């Protein structure tokens, strides 16, 4: 079963805007000091890459439950864990939680496993996600904060 990730919310969009404005301002101030127009090339590429991941992440990032596996896919598989190893799912967490962060918004889910590698995700349909996880591993504790 494939779950789409939630679309970015105001907090994520604000962070992206802040980073882009900060990089642009630093580049412009460096240009004023050095008068070297080539300084815009690396920062322009960096901002382009940042925008690419911000926009494409909202449409391409998928959360997949396949057989006994939980897979996060962004063009290719970037994270994979066995659902039998999941011990707890906590709802309502911020994007600053978890070791592996693949959510595109705030108030997502932290998935805890036996191996202490927490995963932060933001599936659009959380209730259906819980049902599918519990079908495979009924021992998972759902902690709705």
Provide the number of structural domains found in the chain.
2
* Predicted TM-score (pTM) above 0.85: no
pLDDT of residue 25: 92
Same domain, 54 and 92: no
Residue at 11 is within a domain: yes
Q: Has residue 76 got a pLDDT over 90?
A: no
Owning domain of residue 111: 82-144
Residue at 111 is within a domain: yes
| Distance in Å from the first CA to the final CA of the chain | 26
pLDDT of residue 22: 93
Same domain, 95 and 54: no
Residue at 76 is within a domain: no
How do residues 4-54 score in pLDDT, each as one tens digit? 877 777 777 888 889 899 999 998 988 888 888 888 888 889 888 888 888
Q: Which CATH number is 138's domain given?
A: 2.40.50
Residue at 74 is within a domain: no
For residue 145, give Cα distances in angstroms to 17, 70, 124, 132.
29, 23, 18, 20
Residue at 23 is within a domain: yes
Residue at 119 is within a domain: yes
Q: Answer with the one of 25, 42, 58 that is the final residue of a domain.
A: 58
Return the residue matching tokens 């604000």: 14
Return the residue matching tokens 């998928």: 62
How do residues 82-128 score in pLDDT, each as one tens digit? 889 989 988 876 666 556 777 777 788 888 888 777 888 888 888 89
């Amino acid at each position: 079963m494939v779950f789409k990730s939630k679309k970015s919310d105001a907090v994520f969009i604000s962070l992206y805007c802040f980073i882009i404005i900060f990089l642009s301002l630093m580049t412009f101030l460096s240009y004023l000091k050095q008068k070297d127009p080539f300084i815009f090339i690396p920062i322009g590429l960096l901002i382009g890459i940042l925008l690419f991941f911000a926009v494409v992440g909202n449409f391409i990032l998928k959360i997949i439950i396949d057989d006994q596996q939980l897979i996060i896919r962004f063009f290719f598989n970037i994270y994979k864990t066995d659902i039998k190893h999941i011990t707890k799912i906590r709802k309502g967490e911020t994007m600053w939680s978890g070791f592996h962060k693949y959510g595109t918004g705030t108030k997502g889910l932290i998935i805890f496993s036996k191996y202490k590698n927490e995963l932060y995700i933001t599936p659009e349909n959380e209730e259906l996600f819980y049902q599918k996880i519990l079908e495979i591993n009924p021992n998972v504790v759902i902690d709705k904060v």
